[in-house]
Amino acid sequence: MTALLTIHNLQKKFHQRQLLNIKNLAIAAAQAYVLTGANGSGKSTLMRILAGLESADAGEVKFNNEAVNLSPYPRTMRDAIVYVHQHPVMFSTSVADNIAYGLTVRGVAKNIVAEKVEEAIEWAGIVHLRKSIPAFLSGGEKQRVALARARVLSPKLLLLDEPTANLDGAAREQVIALIPTLVGEGSSVIMACHDRDLIALPGVQRLKIRDGTLEVKEINLHH
Ligand SMILES: Nc1ncnc2c1ncn2[C@@H]1O[C@H](COP(=O)(O)OP(=O)(O)OP(=O)(O)O)[C@@H](O)[C@H]1O
């Protein structure tokens, strides 16, 4: 296993309440994880900590073999970790512009942006939606736009908060089918979810929050 991110003694308190007390968190490169746990157990909070959206106390932290501190949140992690919200916020421009945005603000050249956006649109199966306004898209379509928008940034770690919640049928299956391809391209993925089909995906490792601690389960066997 090539470690991407390791955190020792991760602690999170809200007021006097200790929510998380994790001895060891180890995320391997190009590995998919599902993060499970009862409602209110701290799944979203843990993902927000990893994304730099929430503070926490930690002992030794290593990202890409480099010792870092979680606060201030390091540039190396900000550049490599992308968080996808359950209800992604989008600009009222076209789907293509939304996908291009992250690359444009990073100063990537126009022709390369166009190429990557095109590739991501095809990957996500949303070619027909390229010129649509995101506000009018269905939940499943929005989730696929959000995944395409994350993918163009070539993240080392993708954090997906309930990627299939509120989706059913084909929309849900389309989103689930995209996950293994992200891992195949070298990204690690952590999905906070209750979706049994995501939890059972081959090659996925389950992490479960229970009473603030993290239980690490076996990696699912490939079919
Ligand atoms: N900013 C905050 N201030 C105080 N308490 C908070 C804050 N954010 C979250 N909490 C509390 O921390 C607990 C964990 O919340 P979190 O959203 O991480 O849980 P979750 O496991 O993602 O839940 P769910 O499955 O319902 O989405 C909850 O009890 C929540 O009320």
The string of pLDDT tens digits covering residues 166-200 is: 788 888 898 899 999 999 999 999 999 988 888 88
**How far is Cα 176 from Cα 180, in angstroms, rounded to an integer?**
8
The closest residue, in CA terms, to atom 27 on ligand 1 is 39
Domain with 16 in it: what CATH number? 3.40.50.300
Quick one: pLDDT at residue 194? 87
For ligand 1, pick from 43, 191, 193 the residue to mutate: most ligand atoms within 8 Å of CB.
43
Give the pTM.
0.94
Give the span between the Cα atoms of 83 and 101, in whole angstroms.
15
**Strand 61-63, strand 157-161: pairing:** unpaired
Beta-carbon count within 10 A of 18 CB:
11
Which residue segment(s) compose the domain that 123 sits in?
3-219
| Residue 111 structure tokens | 């022709």
How many domains are there within the chain?
1
**Residue 178 in contact with residue 123, Cβ under 8 Å?**
yes
User: Which residues surround ligand 1 with Cβ inside 6 Å?
Assistant: 14, 19, 37, 39-45
When pLDDT is averaged across residues 67-72 and rounded to a whole number, the result is 95
Condensed to tens digits (0 to 9), the pLDDT of residues 95-115 reads 999 999 999 999 999 999 999
User: Is the predicted ipTM greater than 0.90, yes or no?
Assistant: yes
User: What is the structure's pLDDT at 195?
Assistant: 86
Question: What is the 44 CA–ligand 1 centroid distance (Å)?
Answer: 7
E strand or H helix that includes residue 165: none
Q: Residue 34: is its pLDDT beyond 90? A: yes
> Which carries the bigger pLDDT value, residue 134 or residue 223?
134
Is it the case that residue 212 has pLDDT exceeding 80? Answer: yes
φ/ψ of 178, rounded to 5, equals -75, -25
Q: What separation in Å is there between the alpha carbon of 41 and the centre of ligand 1?
A: 7
223 has a pLDDT exceeding 80: no
Nearest CA to ligand 1 atom 16: 42
Cβ count near 58 (within 10 Å):
19
Taking residues 138-144, report their average pLDDT: 91
Tell me the C-alpha distance between 55 and 17, whole Å: 15
Per residue in 199-209, pLDDT (tens digit) is: 888 899 999 99
